[in-house]
Amino acid sequence: MPYLFAAFCAVWLVLFLYILSLSRRHRELAREVEALRKMVGRGNP
Amino acid sequence: MKQVASFADRVLPWLTCGLMIIALAFVFLYVPNERIQGPAQRIFYFHLPAAWNTFLGFFIVAGASAAFLWQGDRFSDLLAQAAAEVGMVFCTLVIITGSIWARPIWGVWWTWDPRLTMVVILWMIYAAYILLRVLAGDNELIARYAAVLGIVGVLDIPLLYIAVKLWRGIHPKVERMAPEMIWTLLVCSAAFLCLFVWLIWLRLRSLTLRDEVSALRRQVVAVS
């Protein structure tokens, strides 16, 4: 039984970390898009 | 396209979570213990769907890479990148769960069985693909080299299947299963497939946003 729990914990941990990294990368990109759009907007009054 | 995006954002996470809860209930409450291997055999219900998702991911990489080389289509290139990364996550899960299963059944965490060795080679091929893509940035030529690697790498998958027959490995083959086991495997496969589609969707969205960042940077440079 401990091996079964270890395997399932490992699966959830890997998936959780991956989804976390995806969401972090997405948030950073969204922030950058927002900042760049503002810069482009300021350049084209 | 916006309708698809809104459907994927609203439905996929909940569908995946729901199916995963049902899959866990099947694995822990419904399916009986296997006679010889005991509870450790239940690892198989996540191990096998993860392996199928790995193959699906890398076949998508090969198909999308071929489309990219043929037509130079940007979406195919993004799809290949997304599928490679998600395929790698599932390939890592296959190796980890397989290793944890091997400890109580074979008495070792790892052995250089032909099928296990082929999985590690597959993992390394697509790790190289991802590394190449990360280092290449917007370089079109390196993207094309990576696409060729993505196509060639998929040839490892049929080899992985015939490895057991060719070199007489010790990796178990699924021959006959009780109906409860088949149902559990089907539910887990559905849950994993849904997770796969959701992860590909999330990664594709990020990659599209990255393209937008590149386009906006060029615009900023042009404006200034």
Is B2's pLDDT higher than 90?
Answer: no
Assigned domain for B133 exists: yes
What is the signed CA dihedral for B21, B22, B25, B27, rounded to 10 degrees?
A: -100
Assigned domain for B4 exists: no
Contact B89 A18 (CB under 8 A): yes
Assigned domain for B32 exists: no
Q: What domain count does chain B have?
A: 1
Contact A40 B223 (CB under 8 A): yes
Is B206's pLDDT higher than 60?
Answer: yes
**In terms of residue numbers, what domain contains B93?**
44-223
Assigned domain for B218 exists: yes
How confident is the model over A2-12, as pLDDT tens digits? 888 899 999 99
Is B123's pLDDT higher than 80?
Answer: yes
Place of tokens 């959780």: A16
Assigned domain for B38 exists: no
The answer to whether B140 touches B102, Cβ cutoff 8 Å, is no
Distance between CA B130 and CA B84 in Å, rounded? 7
How confident is the model over B87-115, as pLDDT tens digits? 999 999 999 999 999 998 888 898 888 88
The answer to whether B54 touches B46, Cβ cutoff 8 Å, is no
Assigned domain for B8 exists: no
DSSP per position, chain B: -HHHHHHHHHHHHHHHHHHHHHHHHIIIIISPPBTTTBGGGGGHHHHHHHHHHHHHHHHHHHHHHHHHHHH--HHHHHHHHHHHHHHHHHHHHHHHHHHHHHHHHHSSS----HHHHHHHHHHHHHHHHHHHHHHHTT-HHHHHHHHHHHHHHTTHHHHHHHHHHHHT----------HHHHHHHHHHHHHHHHHHHHHHHHHHHHHHHHHHHHHHHHHHHHH-
The answer to whether B109 touches B137, Cβ cutoff 8 Å, is no
Assigned domain for B17 exists: no
Helix, strand, or coil (residue A1): coil
How confident is the model over B140-180, as pLDDT tens digits? 888 899 999 999 999 888 888 887 777 777 777 777 788 88
| Lowest mean pLDDT, pick from A13-22, B4-13, B76-85 | B4-13
- Comparing C-alpha atoms, which of B112, B106, B94, B218 is closest to residue B157? B94
Q: Which of residues 1-45 of A touch B (CB under 8 A)?
A: 1, 3-4, 6-8, 10-11, 14-15, 18-19, 22-23, 25-26, 29-30, 32-33, 36-37, 39-40, 43-44
Assigned domain for B31 exists: no
Contact partners, residue B91, CB within 8 Å, separation at least 6: B54, B57, B119, B122, B123, B126
Contact A7 B89 (CB under 8 A): no
